[in-house]
Amino acid sequence: MDKGETELLTPSKMIVIAGAMALLGACAERFGPDSGTFPVAAIRADMATLNLVPADFDRILEPVPSFYRWAPQDVPVALVMGAGLDRACARKTSAQLDQSLAELSRDSGIRFTRAADPAQAKILLELAAAPAAEKAFREAAPINLTETLRNPPTEGPKRWETWQLSDTSKKTIERAYVFDGRHYTENSSRNPRLNACKPFDFPQFLRYASWKLEIAPLNWGLEKQYTEAQLLTYDRMLLRIVNAPAVTPGASGREVAFRVKRALQ
């Protein structure tokens, strides 16, 4: 052997390699085989857009104590629009929701469907001058749920508000509510149509309501100063990972990071 080859096999380096292999083996034994798969091709594409490498998931995911998600992943969504909304805009907005649910279902692994009755929904979207359906929707939810997300309402006619209820013993998201007054205000039949029924960003709100905000993933996005387009990709990637068949409700960040890195090998 020449000197370069000898250095590759020094005892100290062999110890490091053996230690790393032992650590990987211990993790595999602790977490066991995957119960499902990850959408690897889609995750790789997102990583390329964000210039991520698999090791980055140690910082993004590993600090999270446990991940919450919809379970089962069949999530009916109801839409309530204020009576004063322009009729043509109301029809257009309703059709847009159907399209958004189909696209987001393909994109996230969550099976979003349309519910005609808010009483049968897990997510209620309300576009109106003021919340009217929220109270009944919340009161109909199981009493053992805990509020795991709340965005305090902004003031004025363009206010918006979001909350989420979860079963903390099962680590599952069970109900979510989104209110937006801006779309109604700008397209009310009583007011000039300022934006000619500009499309409502249903995917953004549905992703937000389907994710229990965690500090580590949030800090990563802030630290990298992602553009709006990159943030969309980042949020989409996280939702894909957390809702993959290989991840169970309550899985720790350490486990999810290990499983997704193993899938990307």
Reported as a single tens digit per residue, the pLDDT across 190-242 is: 665 555 788 899 999 999 999 888 999 999 999 999 999 999 999 999 999 99
Q: Nearest to residue 85, comparing CAs of 26, 29, 125? A: 125
What is the pLDDT, as a whole number, of residue 165? 97
pTM for this model (two decimals): 0.84
Q: Residue 191 corresponds to which tokens in the numbers above?
A: 């007011």
The answer to whether 200 and 180 have CB atoms below 8 angstroms apart is yes
Q: Whole-angstrom Cα distance, residue 72 to residue 78?
A: 17
**Residue 260 pLDDT > 80, yes or no?**
yes
pLDDT grade, residue 20 (50/70/90)? Answer: very low
Q: What is the pLDDT of residues 147-156, one digit of tens each?
A: 999 987 666 6
What is the pLDDT, as a whole number, of residue 227? 94
Mean pLDDT of the chain: 87
What is the pLDDT, as a whole number, of residue 212? 87
pLDDT grade, residue 5 (50/70/90)? Answer: very low
Least confident of 16-25, 58-67, 108-117, 223-232: 16-25
What is the pLDDT, as a whole number, of residue 85? 87
Q: Whole-angstrom Cα distance, residue 231 to residue 222?
A: 9
What is the pLDDT, as a whole number, of residue 185? 86
The answer to whether 262 and 27 have CB atoms below 8 angstroms apart is no
pLDDT grade, residue 68 (50/70/90)? Answer: very high
What is the pLDDT, as a whole number, of residue 24? 47
What is the pLDDT, as a whole number, of residue 38? 95
What is the pLDDT, as a whole number, of residue 156? 63
**Does residue 46 or residue 185 have the better pLDDT?**
46
What is the pLDDT, as a whole number, of residue 6? 44
208 Cβ contact list (under 8 Å, min separation 6): 162, 178
Please give the average per-residue pLDDT across 82-92, as a whole number: 90
Strand partners, 80: 126
